[in-house]
């Protein structure tokens, strides 16, 4: 298929909307959802991978959207709305219960009455690609909570993950109403579980964050209480820099993103420095000759070490083809007192080339891209990697688990 030359890079929120539209989950047309009123356009992700075409006929997929790991990415749970609706065609009364906040005992107790009489129950968990704010209960945890609620119901209940953009919405997405989306998933009525919370419980939830400091204040005299709070909240954790190196298409971003999501879910704060994204911002305008690559990798190492100096975990995923550049990143990380983990994503060139998500290998083979790593520019395989993962034989969850274990061991956790 020939693609429109006009392109639009979608933000994480807009990727959610595209997934919603392609799966039949949007009551609004895709163009309206994405606020597009021009001519045909190719929609891409931040890495310039063409994902879909948007024209008068609506949105049509070109390539599957990249997926990540965690329960909210389980294909069995994150099903297109059209599939979910088709599976419920015989049901007369389908109630959709939106689970977008951790349910308290009050709502969990109210749930059987809320769904009473329904032939089928959908527990809809909105999951945004956006990283939740630190300390918030994120999508993976909400999916697990919804699953536990579903298991306790007498009537058959399905947990369905809905790619609903982060709170507030983007563009016309603000006009997406809960009931309209729920209806696209086959619901005959919809409700939000947190709306079944009584006033006393709402008040207790609002005060939760200050309970601990209140207790400290009651236990200790001022100014001792202030010291106790300060010591407990100081960034005591050691930071880390994880550098994933490998050929284009080897799986660096996919693994780094999935690992970031998992660590965020565990309450560890991560910062992702993806190769392609860094080149849109920090290294805009740099080329791919050796000197430019070394400079690019050094910049990444510098920013990563700043993040790690303050207890953060920086996940960097550039090709970083030269041993000298990788050694410089190690040096910067160690000078910042951070742990350093070098991950070689060793997927063979033939596999990366066969994947060719962005069509760059084909262009490099035709001589249209000079200095292309693996084709016309060297990749020095590391001999000092802490972890080696070949994604042609290791799936994303296993690759994530291997890197996570190496990271925790480097942190002494
Ligand atoms: N000549 C050439 N060689 C290699 N890669 C190229 C080239 N031109 C563009 N691209 C795209 O740029 C991404 C690699 O950028 P990096 O910053 O990771 O490279 S480096 O570390 O500075 O070597 C790489 O992205 P990933 O596929 O995510 O690795 C490519 O999409
Ligand atoms: N086990 C796997 N781990 C990571 N990526 C995989 C795996 N299997 C298939 N892929 C696919 O390979 C491609 C890797 O692309 P990407 O993560 O952008 O690589 P890089 O960042 O190294 O260029 C993605 O399309 C991804 O879905």
Q: At what angle do helices 323-335 and 290-309 cross, to 10 degrees?
A: 20
Compute the distance between CA of residue 197 and CA of residue 201 in angstroms, rounded to an integer.
6
Indicate whether 312 and 384 sit together in one domain. yes
The alpha carbon of residue 66 and the mean position of all alpha carbons in its chain are separated, in whole angstroms, by 10
Question: What is the pTM for the complete model shown?
Answer: 0.70
Task: Encode pLDDT of 348-400 as tens digits.
Answer: 999 999 999 889 999 999 999 999 999 999 999 999 999 999 999 999 999 99
Task: Encode pLDDT of 135-194 as tens digits.
Answer: 678 899 999 999 999 999 999 999 999 998 776 555 566 668 889 999 999 999 999 999
Residue 66 placed within a domain: no
Indicate whether 77 and 156 sit together in one domain. yes
Residue 2 placed within a domain: no
Degrees, nearest 5: CA angle 361-365-370: 85
Indicate whether 156 and 214 sit together in one domain. no
Indicate whether 93 and 205 sit together in one domain. no
Compute the distance between CA of residue 47 and CA of residue 42 in angstroms, rounded to an integer.
13
Contact 317, 272 (CB under 8 A): yes
Residue 226 placed within a domain: yes
Of all protein residues, the one whose alpha carbon is nearest to atom 13 of ligand 1 is 276
- Pocket mutation for ligand 1, best pick of 243, 246, 274, 275 (most atoms within 8 Å of C-beta): 275
Q: Is 357 in the pocket of ligand 2 (CB under 6 A)?
A: yes
Residue 265 placed within a domain: yes
Indicate whether 213 and 194 sit together in one domain. no
On the 0-12 / 13-18 / 19+ scale of CB atoms within 10 A, 207 is: exposed
Contact 143, 77 (CB under 8 A): yes
The token pair that represents 277 in the structure block: 């994204």
- Pocket mutation for ligand 2, best pick of 63, 69, 247, 251 (most atoms within 8 Å of C-beta): 251
* Residues of the domain holding 56: 7-61
The reply to whether ipTM tops 0.95 is yes
Indicate whether 248 and 343 sit together in one domain. yes
The DSSP H or E segment spanning 120 is strand 120-126
Burial 353-384 (b: 16+ CB within 10 A, else e): bebebbebbeebeeeebeebbbbebebeebee
Find all residues with CB under 8 Å of 228, minimum gap 6, and list them: 216, 220
Number of domains in the chain: 4
Residue 185 placed within a domain: yes
């Amino acid at each position: 298929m020939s693609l429109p030359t006009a392109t639009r890079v979608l933000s994480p929120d807009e990727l959610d909307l595209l997934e919603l539209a392609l799966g039949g989950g949007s009551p609004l047309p895709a163009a309206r959802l994405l606020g597009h009123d021009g001519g045909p356009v190719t929609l891409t992700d931040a890495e310039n991978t063409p994902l879909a075409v948007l024209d008068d006929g609506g949105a049509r997929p070109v390539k599957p959207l990249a997926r990540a790991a965690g329960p909210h990415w389980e294909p069995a749970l994150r099903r297109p709305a059209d599939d979910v609706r088709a599976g419920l065609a015989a049901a007369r009364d389908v109630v959709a219960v939106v689970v977008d906040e951790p349910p308290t005992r009050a709502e969990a107790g109210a749930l059987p009455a809320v769904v009473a009489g329904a032939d089928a129950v959908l527990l809809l968990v909105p999951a945004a690609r956006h990283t939740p704010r630190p300390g918030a209960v994120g999508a993976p945890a909400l999916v697990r909570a919804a699953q536990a609620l579903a298991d306790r119901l007498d009537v058959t209940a399905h947990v369905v993950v809905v790619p609903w953009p982060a709170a507030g919405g983007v563009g016309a997405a603000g006009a997406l109403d809960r009931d309209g989306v729920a209806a696209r998933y086959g619901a005959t009525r919809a409700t939000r579980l947190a709306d079944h919370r009584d006033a006393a419980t709402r008040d207790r939830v609002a005060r939760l964050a200050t309970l601990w400091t209140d207790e400290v204040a009651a236990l200790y005299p001022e100014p001792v209480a202030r010291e106790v709070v300060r010591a407990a909240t100081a960034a005591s954790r050691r930071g880390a820099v994880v550098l994933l190196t490998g050929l284009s298409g080897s799986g660096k971003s996919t693994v780094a993103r999935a690992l970031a999501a998992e660590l965020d879910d565990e309450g560890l704060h991560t910062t992702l420095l993806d190769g392609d994204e860094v080149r849109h911002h920090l290294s805009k305008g740099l080329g791919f000759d050796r000197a430019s690559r070394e400079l690019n990798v050094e910049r990444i190492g510098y920013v990563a070490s700043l993040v790690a100096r303050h207890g953060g975990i920086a996940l960097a995923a550039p090709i970083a083809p030269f041993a000298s550049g990788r050694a410089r990143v190690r040096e910067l990380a160690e000078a910042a007192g951070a742990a350093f983990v070098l991950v070689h994503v060793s997927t063979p060139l033939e596999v990366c080339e066969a994947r060719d998500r962005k069509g760059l290998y084909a262009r490099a083979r035709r001589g249209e891209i000079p200095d292309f790593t693996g084709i016309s520019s060297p990749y020095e395989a590391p001999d000092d990697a802490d972890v080696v993962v070949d994604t042609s034989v290791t799936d994303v969850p296993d690759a994530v688990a291997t890197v996570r274990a190496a990271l925790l061991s480097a942190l002494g956790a």
